């Protein structure tokens, strides 16, 4: 389903509205305030709700590149928007994909609890990215993932995961800097039924890295080592998430030879800036 509104990212809209304010003769001392106001107004007027972002819903088509919507506070997606997304998943038998970073840090634990409770109430199954790799229609579900290296914060959400019987996917970057304690905590999470997957060595933007050093270098130095280090620890790794969701079709094809599922992100502002191909 296509978004029903014509939207632009906050920054682009702010610049346009800011230009109009300048043209109308506003004092030059006020442009910063004007831009902030314009940005806030534009975001409120333009942002698509989760149910309008077709790319974050999986319908069993066996796609290589998946897209998730950001639950972090900074992303500004409201509980009402997320609830509409959960409704759509239940009504259409799709899997909604959501992600965040650090429970209790970038995203309140209460928001995680709301999403897990909302999924349970609507009869959504908890799906990991390995389940996508298995192929086939998965029925109505929630694929929730957490990115980067905030293992101690992930642990704070463990009681919630246990309460709702939730299985989630942790896309781990910078595994080489994790302490022994953090690695033990990851083992505990995996033992609970959660999945660990790759998210690169240094958390850099893939297209930029490829431009500078080449595709083969990106695959060999950034992507694959983040998968192999987990496999060496005994984890079954079947997916990889792009830092910042930043990707190209060329990189997708190269990584698709190593894992069957890649995860990018979808912005609530559709258009050419969104890295989601779906």
Question: Which residues of this chain interact with Zn ion, rule CB under 5 A?
Answer: 147-148, 243
Q: Smallest distance from the beta carbon of 238 to Zn ion, in angstroms?
A: 18
- DSSP notation for 116-182: HHHHHHTTPEE--HHHHHT-S---SEEEEEEEES-HHHHHHTHHHHHHHT---EEEE--GGG--HHH
d(CA 261, CA 145): 14
Which residue is at the shortest CB distance from Zn ion?
Answer: 147
Which of residues 73 and 163 has its CB atom nearest to Zn ion in the complex?
73
Q: Smallest distance from the beta carbon of 149 to Zn ion, in angstroms?
A: 9
Which of residues 84 and 174 has its CB atom nearest to Zn ion in the complex?
174
Q: Smallest distance from the beta carbon of 241 to Zn ion, in angstroms?
A: 7
Which of residues 95 and 100 has its CB atom nearest to Zn ion in the complex?
100
- DSSP notation for 226-272: HHHHHHHTT----EEE-GGG---HHHHHHHTTT-SEEEEE--SS-ST
Dihedral (Cα; 268, 273, 277, 278), 10-degree rounding: 20
Which of residues 34 and 157 has its CB atom nearest to Zn ion in the complex?
157
Distances (CA, A) of 23 to 8, 9, 40: 21, 22, 20
Which of residues 162 and 177 has its CB atom nearest to Zn ion in the complex?
177
d(CA 29, CA 33): 9
Contact 57, 96 (CB under 8 A): yes
Q: Smallest distance from the beta carbon of 264 to Zn ion, in angstroms?
A: 11
Q: Smallest distance from the beta carbon of 101 to Zn ion, in angstroms?
A: 7
Which of residues 187 and 205 has its CB atom nearest to Zn ion in the complex?
205
Q: Smallest distance from the beta carbon of 244 to Zn ion, in angstroms?
A: 7
């Amino acid at each position: 389903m296509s978004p029903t509104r014509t939207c632009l990212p906050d920054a682009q809209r702010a610049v346009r509205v800011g230009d109009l304010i300048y043209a109308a003769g506003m004092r030059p001392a006020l442009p910063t305030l004007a831009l902030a106001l314009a940005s806030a107004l534009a975001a409120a007027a333009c942002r698509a709700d989760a149910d309008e972002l077709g790319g974050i819903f999986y319908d069993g088509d066996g796609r290589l590149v998946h897209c998730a919507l950001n639950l972090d506070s900074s992303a500004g997606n409201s509980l009402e928007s997320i609830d509409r997304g959960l409704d759509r998943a239940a009504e259409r038998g799709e899997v909604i994909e959501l992600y965040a970073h650090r429970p209790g840090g970038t995203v309140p634990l209460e928001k995680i609890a709301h999403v897990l409770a909302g999924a349970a109430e609507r009869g959504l199954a908890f799906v990991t990215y390995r389940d996508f790799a298995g192929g086939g229609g998965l029925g109505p579900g929630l694929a929730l993932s957490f990115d980067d290296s905030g293992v101690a914060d992930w642990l704070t959400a463990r009681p919630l995961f246990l309460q709702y019987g939730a299985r989630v996917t942790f896309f781990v970057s910078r595994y080489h800097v994790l302490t022994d304690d953090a690695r033990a905590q990851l083992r505990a999470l995996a033992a609970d039924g959660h999945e660990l997957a790759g998210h690169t060595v240094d958390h850099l933007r893939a297209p930029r890295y490829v431009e500078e050093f080449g595709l083969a270098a990106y695959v060999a130095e950034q992507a694959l080592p983040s998968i192999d280090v987990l496999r060496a620890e005994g984890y079954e790794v079947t997916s990889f998430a792009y830092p910042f969701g930043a990707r190209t079709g060329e990189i997708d094809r190269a990584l698709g030879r190593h894992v069957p599922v890649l995860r990018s992100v979808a912005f609530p502002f559709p258009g050419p800036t969104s890295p989601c191909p779906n």
